[in-house]
Structure 1
Amino acid sequence: MRKKCPTCGEYYWTQNEEQKTCGESTSDGCACYTFLKNPPTRICYSLPEMREAFLSFFEKHNHTRVKPYPVVARWRSDIYLTHASIIDFQPYVTEGIAPPPANPLVIAQPCIRLVDIANTGPTFGRHLTIFEMGGHHAFNYPDKEVYWKDQTVRYNHEFVTDVLGVSSEDVTYKEDVWVGGGNAGPDLECIVGGLEVTTLVFMQYKVVNDKFIKLPIRTVDTGYGLDRFAWLSQGSPSCFHAIYGRLLDKVFDIAGLKVDDTLLYSVAKHSGLVTMDKTANRLNARRKVAELIGADVDDLDKVLIPIENAFAIADHTKCLSFMLSEGIVPSNIHEGYLARLMFRRVYRLLRNLKIDVERLYDIVDMQIDYWSKDYPHIKTMHDEIMEMLKVEEEKFEDTLKRGESMVKRIAAELKAEKVSRMPDDTLSELYDSHGLPPEIVKEAAEAEGVTVEVPENFYALIANRHMQADKPFEEEQTKPKVTLETAVEKLRSTEQMYYIDAYVKEFEAKVLKVINGKHVALDRTYFYPEGGGQPSDQGFLIFGDTKAEVVHVRKMGRVILHEIKASEAPKEGDTVRGVLNWDKRYTLMKAHTATHLVNGAARRVLGEHVWQHGTQKGVKSTRLDISHYRRLTADEIHEIETLANKAVLADMP
């Protein structure tokens, strides 16, 4: 039956006639957790066991198991990190540009979501910076329906009730609308024991300029919180206990913490009320919980802060291990900035708990050992992870030494202007541009008589600011891009013949459309479009007595557009002859191959963390940027050059 929650105002579905609210434990206060010490599942699952139960269930229901994608979303130009399983398939699969690896499919995807960094710890594990999302996905094409709403809900319900053993009356489905990754659709959130464990999204829109545009492919996008399911099945005092087990105990030991489980259970019951961005600040959130358990808020705060910091250390060191294992090098830009943010937050948490920073390496070593059973690449990168952490520690300590005098100077300037409180913009600038954590700034500034108020969600605000990737240069020309995108929307895909034979110099093709008198779409082409730091091919399109110069080639979705410079353009349906400027093409081909050779040589010399971080290929010169945590020595450069030249001289096919 469908009901409206009198507390939060949302609609929900339940089989329990006596249920009065939506049953979700949130800051609205609709419910509290009922599964603690009383799990509703048939048996207790570890995270790996829950992952396997989920994957096996969907395999039995004709879903193909797909290996997890990296946590670094290098296939996306708009984001840096994989924060949901659907990210693996956006936009190429969801918009019909490429086929899915299987249909339907199931995946257990490690995800990183740094916007939740402020809540990681205080919400007892409802928020995590790194978590595992189970996703079963179906891609429904106009001519092929796989399954949609009814079957999606049926699968979820069978997994929760038949596999895990939860009573059907204890399952609630809450209505909502989901927006993310440029797509949107209605969704149902599955609630058990006060905890949202699943989100079932029926993705059917593309979001463009805040407008919903219907997609030709309707996608079943589900997110099963495997960490939360493990917590639900164990009924432990926090999700961190369920995820980390003995590893968490070791973090407590390193911090010298004696944890009162009875107190933790009483606080955890109401921890759903805590969400930093909705409860004004940490103390207000704490006051709510203190009132409910009959405790003094100040006493409770003193007990919980160290425990929450230890929770966050367990979470953040796992997150950092995964990030570094995939070749993110801490830096001041792009995904490297996010890794640096994580390291510096962990450093601060260790300092708050009076833990020697050297113990960081012990904790990370435990994380690598703990997770490498399921993710062996982490073990392979062990030494490089440790080396990157050591270099980052040295850089940060140098930053702190230089930063103290900078803060003193700023404090003196503020006092001279009779300003007693440091502006928030200055605080953010000191972190963003100079790497100074707000807690360190506060300590140094207040010693000089200038107060500093650090927002509770400071790190979440900083992370959110840096989560979106810079748009590629070619996407900056927004006006013509929108016009061209609209014009080619209904055209069939251009056959990209250069992938079949890269040595064809001339070809014939049929004109599908001419836009603005100069952008020509062909049914097939050997002209390579601009992309990946490589300029487009140039040449000519010949039709009748006209020889039109091709000055630029670009890819718009599935269509290749040839920009011509001529007094007239071909007509739709005409056959044209394409002639490439072969000297330019062949030079760029060699430059392209050279970047791969040099990049491969750099990985062998410097380590597996090395990735191409940017490139610009040209006829006269080519530039390759690589990710590395130290300045290259002359010997390293010589070794890379020698190895690359050996590969050239080997004349491999």
Structure 2
Amino acid sequence: MEKLGMNELREKYLSFFESKGHLRLPSFSLIPKNDKSLLLINAGMAPLKPYFTGKEIPPSKRITTCQKCIRTPDIERVGKTARHGTFFEMLGNFSFGDYFKKEAILWAWEFVTKELRLPEERLWVTIYEKDDEAFEIWNKIVGLPAGKIVRMGKEDNFWEIGIGPCGPCSEIYFDRGEDKGCGKPECGIGCDCDRFIEFWNLVFTQFNKDAEGNYNPLPNPNIDTGMGLERIATVMQDVDSIFDVDVVRGITDFVGKISGVKYGTDKKADISLRVITDHIRGVVFMISDGILPSNEGRGYVLRRILRRAARHGKLLGLNEAFLYKIVDVVIKHYGDAYPELVERKDYIKKIVKIEEERFKETIDQGLNILNLYVEELKNQGENILDGVKAFKLYDTYGFPIDLTKEILQEVGIDVDEEEYKRELDKQRIRARSSRKEDSNIWEKDIYAGLKDIKTHFVGYNNIETHSKVLSIIKDNELIESAEAGDDVSIILDVTPFYAESGGQTGDQGILKNEDVLIKINDCKRVAGDKFIHIGTIERGIINTEDMVEALIDIDKRLDTARNHTATHLLHKALRDTLGEHVHQAGSYVSSERLRFDFTHYQAVTKDELKRIEDIVNEKIYQNIDVAVEVMTYEEALKNGAMALFTEKYGDAVRVVKINNYSKELCGGTHVKNTGFIGLIKIISESGVAAGTRRIEAVTGRNAIKYINEKELILDTAAEILKVPKKDIIIKIEQLNQNLKEMQDETAQLKMNIAMLVSDNLEKSYIDIQGIKFVSARLEDFDMDGLKIIGDILKEKLKTAVLIFTSQKNNKINFLGMATKNTVKMGVNVGNIIREICKLTGGNGGGKPDMAQGVGKDADKVDYALQEAYNILKKQIK
């Protein structure tokens, strides 16, 4: 057999199934589309789920893909085993009610024996124990000896998730030889050793499991297969680990080069090299698909694996940011198969570097906190760190538990890992509840059951139609008629209403005839090709089969179109001004405004915003025609059209062209000419996540309204200030200068008062073993005033502990300060303030040399100050 590289294997597989009539689709985004049961795409079939369920019509009944995937359940095992990884590629061929078991098995055998030339004597298969049909195909048609066809139980060879489509499967194994085995007499298929490796799973989806547990045959069974690219490469290249195949090893060797550690020479270092190699691949692909580091959802997964890789870099001696340097190597190996990586390289590197540097800051903070915990434990004579604190280090500062344990072991302290795990479990429960759980990922809604009903959308060219009512839904139930006052969803055979999609809101308008008037407030697309018109019946009765006039609100449609076309101009202006790394990361387009999220790693300056706005307005003034062309997805990309990270496209796509200035794939509605936009006005720019910015803007009549409102504000300000509008800024600057002078005078007055108070307090100290202790109940000082007095006294007394309290604006303030040399003697005013504030019913705390708090009971303040003296005496070593 030929030792094929990963890139060769990928292309060979996809080309083979293209020759069998399959449509080759590019890998879908790692971000699931319209699937709340998944955080990240974790299998080749996951993005094709709507085709299996019937919610959407596939572009072809035969499809083949190489799907990028992320799985994290076994993240702690990554680097320690030969086969575990968080990122992998899954090769697959799929049939949606077309070919079935015989073709799937025969083509699989043809591919592995003829294309890959794997020796037949080293191939084994498993089947579901009751699947006699699969046995007959493997044995009678393929010719595989019965002894090499292993029947296995439901747990191993039957694929199902809850209720819905399911079926038996057949897996293909490769025998790597006795030298890779465990040596046990019973060693064979299913053994945990590394001799027999399963590399291809053929799933025969032929049943539908109902709620009662019955398996009903599907009228159109499906095929879903999955072959791990890294795993088959391990077989083809005759290596022991997925980290030893050509593409992956190229990354590992580079990590070894920059760390000065040669792979294969040290077992512990090898774990770190493998972790970094695996995680940086996932990081690159996730950021490329528009995922950004955050503390929740898929952004948390990204942050977790990126920081885990960075932490393993520290173990290899890499103390400065280094992961961003590996991005180039990852893209070098994967760029041909995933050209979007090359296009987004600079952006990916920037995000990785920012997150690395941010982690360096937090991990240093974590070390400081951990050192404080150690000091507290030693002072208390304890040697176990509670799990809540260990979890806080992990959750707040990104401090891995193994690093916490390692540092503590050096000073003879253990971690309460059981409590840590309980806190971790609590977080996982919170994470699961933060997104809608879907216990049955195959569950079909009421619309998916309407298989013979579809809506023809003509709204690109028509604003009204004569339509037939196909279905009426009320309270998620199909009904035959509805009357005035009912809130309904109506499906028509033909409609001019645009359904919410691609960030554009659905059209509003009315449905009417002589007997009924329905106000439509929204329009959505469901189950692939059904448009539901959501509204309220204002008069009359509506029945299925009725004919109605469907009229959209043309003013709102045009305002929405202005905003949508403006987002295309804005996108291009952002790229021209800020750089090619800018990509759309989300949008919202309604009749009132537009919101545009984009990838950028820092705030846009005022000058940049002004330039961006000017560019868009210039294109508006040029009255450029806006054209729409329909072509294949591949043709669109060849012509330079931009596609969204997370969008899924069919074979035919709409390309919106604004001359040669902007070309984007888009299904939205647009103006015919940029001049119809009238004007754009950017009203805000802000950050929404790490590496993602947001611009909000208005166009047309809403832009004029916005400007008029600002004009009114200026008129009012000029009237209040009693100056012409052109002099408002000069007047404000004068007022600011007057205010600053008054503040300076007030500050000087406070300083003078503080000096007088400190002079009075200087001689009131009590000497406690060489420490000058001053406590005082002062009147009418805020916290800043107390700090000024404290700073002056510290300078005068040199070795001092100060405890002050003062009541101002019905608030009792406490302040504790200590000179640095007293801290070395055991003083901790943070503990003192915490305890004395409690005595007054309040709370407080802080650092050993500076702390503050508040009290509630003024009658107990004097007692609290006396107690401060007693606490201090106990602290001094």
Is the TM value for this pair above 0.5?
Answer: yes
AA aligned to 1:249 is D
Correspondent of 2:125 among 168, 172, 178: 172
Tell me the equivalent position of 1:241: 244
Letter in 1 for 2:513: F
C-alpha spacing 1:72/1:464, structure 2 compared with 1 (3 Å): farther
Distance 2:382 2:617 in 1: 61
Q: CA deviation at 1:223?
A: 0.6
Counterpart in 1 of 2:40?
Answer: 81
Per-residue Cα deviation, 1:487-506 (whole angstroms, up to 9, x for no partner): 66225343242xx3335333
**Cα offset, 1:315, TM superposition:** 1.6
Report the alpha carbon displacement of residue 461 of structure 1 after superposing the two structures with TM: 11
Structure 1 window deviating more from structure 2 (157-166 vs 387-396): it is: 157-166
Conserved? CA contact 2:511–2:549, under 8 Å: yes
Equivalence map 1:171-190=2 (5 Å): 171-175=124-128, 176-179=157-160, 184-190=166-172
**TM-score, normalization: structure 1?**
0.73
CA contact (8 A) 1:317 1:364 kept: yes
Matches of 1:158 and 1:462, distance apart in 2: 48
Of 247, 263, 286, 1:323 maps to: 286
Deviation at 1:133, TM superposition (A): 1.4
For residue 587 of structure 1, report the CA deviation from its aligned partner: 1.9
Q: Is 1:551 aligned with 2:521?
A: yes
**Does structure 1 residue 620 correspond to structure 2 residue 578?**
no
| Equivalent position SS for 1:566 | strand
Q: CA deviation at 1:198?
A: 0.6
Shift of 1:539: 2.3
> Which of 103, 109, 126 is the aligned partner of 2:61?
103
Task: Confirm whether residue 357 of structure 1 aligns to residue 320 of structure 2.
Answer: yes
Conserved 8 A contact 1:320-1:342: yes
Is 1:203 paired with 2:188? no
Comparing both chains, which one has the higher relative contact order based on Cα–Cα distances under 8 Å and sequence gaps of 6 or more?
A: 1
| Structure 1 residue 435: Cα displacement | 3.6
Q: Is the Cα contact below 8 Å between 2:204 and 2:224 reproduced in 1?
A: yes
Describe the superposition over 1:322-374 as per-residue Cα deviations: whole angstroms up to 9, x where unpaired: 22334433333444333222220110111122234344344333222233244
Return the index of the structure with the highest Cα Rg: 2
Q: In structure 2, what is the Cα distance between the partners aligned to 1:184 and 1:392?
A: 42
In structure 1, give the amino acid aligned to 2:417. E
Relative distance call for 1:240 and 1:260 in structure 2 (3 A) is closer
How far residue 102 of structure 1 moved from its aligned partner, in angstroms, is: 3.4
Residue in structure 2 matched with residue 219 of structure 1 by the alignment: 222
DSSP-derived class of the 1:507 partner: strand
* 1:505 aligned residue: 463
Asked whether the equivalents of residues 515 and 540 of structure 2 are also in contact (C-alpha less than 8 Å), the reply is no
Looking at structure 2, the residues matched to 423 and 627 of structure 1 have their Cα atoms a distance apart, in angstroms, of 40
Q: SS at the partner of 2:417?
A: coil
Deviates more, 1:129-138 or 1:69-78: 69-78
Per-residue CA distance 1:150-199 (angstroms, 9 max, x = gap) = 22122222222333232256312254233469964332222222111011
Q: Which structure has greater strand proportion?
A: 2
Partner of residue 381 from structure 1, selected from 340, 344, 348: 344
CA contact (8 A) 1:445 1:452 kept: no
Q: Is 1:114–1:460's contact at 8 Å kept on the other side of the alignment?
A: no
Alignment of 1:153 onto 2:102: no
SS in 2 for 1:631: coil
Q: Hey, what does 1:644 align to over in structure 2?
A: 616
> Structure 1 residue 53 and structure 2 residue 34: aligned?
no
- Give 1:652's aligned amino acid: D
Task: Determine if contact 2:174/2:198 at 8 Å carries over to the other structure.
Answer: yes
Which of 73, 78, 89 is 1:132 aligned to? Answer: 89
Report if aligned partners of 2:321, 2:353 keep a CA contact under 8 Å in 1: no
**CA-to-partner distance for each residue in 1:192-217, whole Å, 9 max, x for gaps?**
22111011122356899998898765
> How far 1:222 sits from its partner (Å)?
0.7
Q: Contact 2:517 / 2:539 at 8 angstroms: preserved in 1?
A: no
For residue 409 of structure 1, report the CA deviation from its aligned partner. 6.8
| Residue of structure 2 in register with 1:633 after alignment | 605
Distance 2:450 2:515 in 1: 30
Mark the runs of 5 or more structure 2 residues left unpaired by the alignment: 129-156, 176-195, 475-481, 483-487, 627-877
Distance, in Å, in 2 between the alignment partners of 1:205 and 1:580 is 44
* AA matched with 2:621: L
> In the alignment, does 2:304 pair up with 1:341?
yes
Conservation of the 8 A alpha-carbon contact between 1:491 and 1:512: no
Q: Note if contact 1:79-1:469 (Cα within 8 Å) is conserved in structure 2.
A: no
Report the Cα offset of residue 130 of structure 1: 1.9
Gaps of 5+ in 1: 1-41, 141-145, 262-302
* Contact 2:388–2:423 (CA under 8 A) maintained in structure 1: no
What is the Cα deviation at residue 608 of structure 1? 4.8
Q: Which moved more, 1:55-64 or 1:72-81?
A: 72-81
TM-superposed CA distance for 1:515, in Å, is 2.7
Partner of 2:498: 528
Tell me the equivalent position of 1:453: 417
Residue 560 (structure 1) aligned with residue 531 (structure 2): yes
Letter in 2 for 1:628: H
2:361 partner amino acid: D
**Alpha-carbon distance in 1 for matches of 2:217, 2:496:** 33
1:387 is displaced (CA, Å) by: 1.9
**Code of the aligned partner of 1:171:** W
Q: Which of 209, 218, 231 does residue 228 from structure 1 map onto?
A: 231
CA RMSD of aligned residues (A): 4.2
Q: Deviations over 1:423-474 (max 9, x none)?
A: 6566556544554433455567776957253989999998998799946xxx
Amino acid at match of 1:139: F
Structure 2 vs 1, CA of residues 208 and 636 (structure 1 numbering), >3 Å: closer, same or farther? farther
Residue type of the partner of 1:177? F
The verdict on how the C-alpha distance between 1:531 and 1:418 changes in structure 2, with shifts beyond 3 A counting, is farther
Alpha carbons of structure 1 residues 505 and 613: separation in structure 2 relative to 1, 3 Å: same
> CA offset at residue 312 of structure 1?
1.7
The answer to whether the 8 Å contact 1:72/1:82 transfers is yes
Q: 1:50 to 1:545 in 2, by over 3 A?
A: closer
* Cα distance in structure 2, aligned partners of 1:165 and 1:435: 46
Aligned to 2:769: none
**Matched residue type, 1:185:** G
8 A Cα contact 2:272 2:312, kept in partner: yes
Question: Paired residue for 1:332, among 295, 298, 305?
Answer: 295
Give the 3 Å change call, closer, same or farther, for CA 598–250 of structure 1 in structure 2: closer
**Rounded Cα–Cα distance in structure 1 between residues aligned with 2:615 and 2:371:** 50
2:452 and 2:582 map into 1 onto residues whose CA distance is 38
- AA partner of residue 85 (structure 1): G
Measured after TM superposition, the shift of residue 575 of structure 1 is: 0.8
Q: Quick one: distance in 2 between partners of 1:258 and 1:47?
A: 23
Q: 2:450 aligns with which of 490, 514, 526?
A: 490
Question: What's the TM-score once normalised by structure 2's chain length?
Answer: 0.56
Q: Percent identity?
A: 30
Deviation of the 1:47 alpha carbon: 1.4
Amino acid at match of 1:167: E
The answer to whether the Cα contact below 8 Å between 2:504 and 2:589 also exists between their aligned partners in 1 is yes
Residue of 62, 65, 71 corresponding to 2:21:
62
Structure 2 CA distance for partners of 1:379 and 1:207, relative to 1, 3 Å: farther
Partner of 1:565: helix, strand, or coil?
strand
Query: CA separation of 1:420/1:460 partners in 2, compared to 1, >3 Å: closer, same or farther?
Result: same
Contact 2:126 2:170 in 1 (8 A): yes
Given the superposition, is the C-alpha separation of residues 218 and 505 from structure 1 closer, same or farther in structure 2, using an over 3 Å criterion?
same
